[in-house]
A and B are shown apart, each in its own frame.
Chain A
Amino acid sequence: MTGFLLRRAGHALTVILLVCTATFMLVHLAPGGPAVLADPKLSVEERTAIEERLGLDRPVLAQYGLWLARVARGDLGRSFLYEVPNLRAIGERLPNTALLAGTSLFLSVLLAVPLGLWSAAHRGGWVDRVVSGAAFVAMAVPTFWLAIGAIFTFAIALPLFPAGGATAAGGSGGVLGRLYHLAMPAVVLAAVTTAELLRYMRSSAQTARQQPFIRVARAKGVRDAAIQWRHVLRTALIPVVTVLGIQIPRLVGGAAITETVFAWPGLGRLGIQAALGRDYPLVMAITLFISAAVVIVNLAIDLAYLWIDPRIRMDQR
Chain B
Amino acid sequence: MSTPRRVVLAASLVALVACSGEGPGPNALRIPLINDPILNPVLAPDIGSVLINKVLFSALVRPDEHLRPTPDLAESWTTSDDGLAWTFALRPGVRWHDGEPFTARDVKFTFDQALDVKSGSRLRSDFAAVDGVDIVDSLTVRFRLKAPFAPFLSLLGYNAGILPEHRLRGRKLTDATDFNRSAAIGTGPFRIVSASSGSAIVLERYPGYHGAVPALDQVIFRIVPDVNAQVAQLLAGELDLVPIEPANLGSVERAPGVVVARNPIVQHVYVGFNQLRPAFKPALVRQALDLAIDRQAIIDGVVKGAADLPRGTIPMVLSGYFDGSLPAPAFAPDSARALLARAGWRPDAEGRLHDAKGAPFALTILVDKGNPTREQAALAVQQDLRRIGIDVSIETLEFATLVRDRVLPGDYDAVLIWWTTPPDPDQYSFYATGQDNNHVRYSNARVDSLLGAGRATLDTVARRGIYAAFQREEMTDPPVLVLFYPRELLAVSARIAGLPALGLRDALRHTERLSVKR
CB atoms of A and B under 8 A apart anywhere in the complex?
yes
Main secondary structure of the interface of B (DSSP, over half): mixed
Chain A proximity mask over B30-60: 1 for CB below 8 Å, otherwise 0: 1000111010000101100000000000000
Q: Are A34 and B400 in contact (CB under 8 A)?
A: yes
A266 at the B interface (CB under 8 A) = yes
Give the complex CA separation of A173 and B232 in angstroms. Answer: 21
Q: Are A83 and B120 in contact (CB under 8 A)?
A: yes
B248 at the A interface (CB under 8 A) = no
Known: A32-B401, A83-B120. A261 touches B229 (CB 8 A): yes
A263 at the B interface (CB under 8 A) = yes
Q: Are B177 and A33 in contact (CB under 8 A)?
A: no
Q: Are B125 and A42 in contact (CB under 8 A)?
A: yes
Query: Out of A33, A174, A269, A270, which one reaches B19, CB within 8 Å?
Result: A174
Known: A44-B436, A49-B118, A162-B20. A38 touches B198 (CB 8 A): no
In the complex, what residues of A have CB within 8 A of residue B238's CB?
162-165, 169
Give the complex CA separation of A36 and B45 in angstroms. Answer: 8
Q: Are B401 and A31 in contact (CB under 8 A)?
A: yes
In the complex, what residues of A have CB within 8 A of residue B513's CB?
none
Q: Are B236 and A177 in contact (CB under 8 A)?
A: no
Within 8 A of A (CB), among B74-121: 117-118, 120
Q: Are A265 and B199 in contact (CB under 8 A)?
A: yes
B21 at the A interface (CB under 8 A) = yes
B132 at the A interface (CB under 8 A) = no
Q: Are B20 and A176 in contact (CB under 8 A)?
A: yes
B138 at the A interface (CB under 8 A) = no
Q: How far is the CB of B116 from chain A (nearest CB, A)?
A: 9
In the complex, what residues of B have CB within 8 A of residue A171's CB?
194, 196, 199-200, 202
Q: Are A168 and B404 in contact (CB under 8 A)?
A: no
Query: Out of B19, B34, B405, which one reaches A176, CB within 8 Å?
Result: B19
Residue of B nearest to A263 (CB): B224
In the complex, what residues of B have CB within 8 A of residue A46's CB?
117, 122, 124-125
Residue of B nearest to A91 (CB): B197
Known: A45-B124, A173-B20. A260 touches B226 (CB 8 A): yes
Residue of B nearest to A270 (CB): B198
Q: How far is the CB of B351 from chain A (nearest CB, A)?
A: 35
In the complex, what residues of A have CB within 8 A of residue B125's CB?
41-43, 45-46
B275 at the A interface (CB under 8 A) = no
Residue of A nearest to B117 (CB): A49
B350 at the A interface (CB under 8 A) = no
Q: Which of A36, A38, A52, A278 has the most CB of B within 10 A?
A: A38
Among listed B215-223, B313-321, B329-337, B386-394, interface-contacting one: B215-223
Q: How far is the CB of B470 from chain A (nearest CB, A)?
A: 20
Chain B proximity mask over A262-277: 1 for CB below 8 Å, otherwise 0: 1101100110110001
Q: Are A82 and B22 in contact (CB under 8 A)?
A: no
Q: Are B177 and A151 in contact (CB under 8 A)?
A: no
Among listed A153-161, A231-239, A299-307, interface-contacting one: A153-161
Q: How far is the CB of A67 from chain B (nearest CB, A)?
A: 19
Q: Are B407 and A40 in contact (CB under 8 A)?
A: yes
Q: Are A164 and B229 in contact (CB under 8 A)?
A: yes
In the complex, what residues of B have CB within 8 A of residue A88's CB?
177
Query: Out of B21, B30, B202, which one reaches A173, CB within 8 Å?
Result: B21
Q: Are B404 and A169 in contact (CB under 8 A)?
A: no
B139 at the A interface (CB under 8 A) = no
A247 at the B interface (CB under 8 A) = no
Size range of the interface on A?
A: 35 or more
Q: Are B222 and A165 in contact (CB under 8 A)?
A: yes
In the complex, what residues of A have CB within 8 A of residue B20's CB?
162, 168, 173, 176-177, 180-181
Q: Are B117 and A45 in contact (CB under 8 A)?
A: yes
Residue of A nearest to B407 (CB): A40
Residue of A nearest to B237 (CB): A159
In the complex, what residues of B have CB within 8 A of residue A269's CB?
198, 225
Give the complex CA separation of A180 and B15 in angstroms. Answer: 11
Q: Are A89 and B120 in contact (CB under 8 A)?
A: no
In the complex, what residues of B have CB within 8 A of residue A166's CB?
196, 198-199
B13 at the A interface (CB under 8 A) = yes
A293 at the B interface (CB under 8 A) = no
Q: Are A31 and B405 in contact (CB under 8 A)?
A: yes
Give the complex CA separation of A66 and B161 in angstroms. Answer: 36
Known: A41-B437, A173-B20, A176-B20. A263 touches B229 (CB 8 A): yes
Within 8 A of B (CB), among A133-179: 148, 151-152, 155-156, 159-160, 162-174, 176-177
Residue positions of B touching A, CB distance < 8 A: 13, 16-17, 19-22, 25, 28, 30, 34-36, 38, 43, 45-46, 117-118, 120, 122, 124-125, 128, 174, 177, 180-181, 194, 196-200, 202, 218, 220, 222-226, 228-229, 232-233, 235-238, 398-405, 407-408, 417, 419, 429, 436-437, 439
Report the 6 A-B pairs with minimum CB-CB distance, sorted nearest first. Answer: A265-B198, A32-B401, A177-B20, A38-B400, A92-B197, A163-B236
* Further contacts, 6 of them, CB under 8 A, given A155-B232, A163-B233, A163-B235: A35-B400, A81-B35, A89-B197, A163-B229, A171-B200, A273-B34
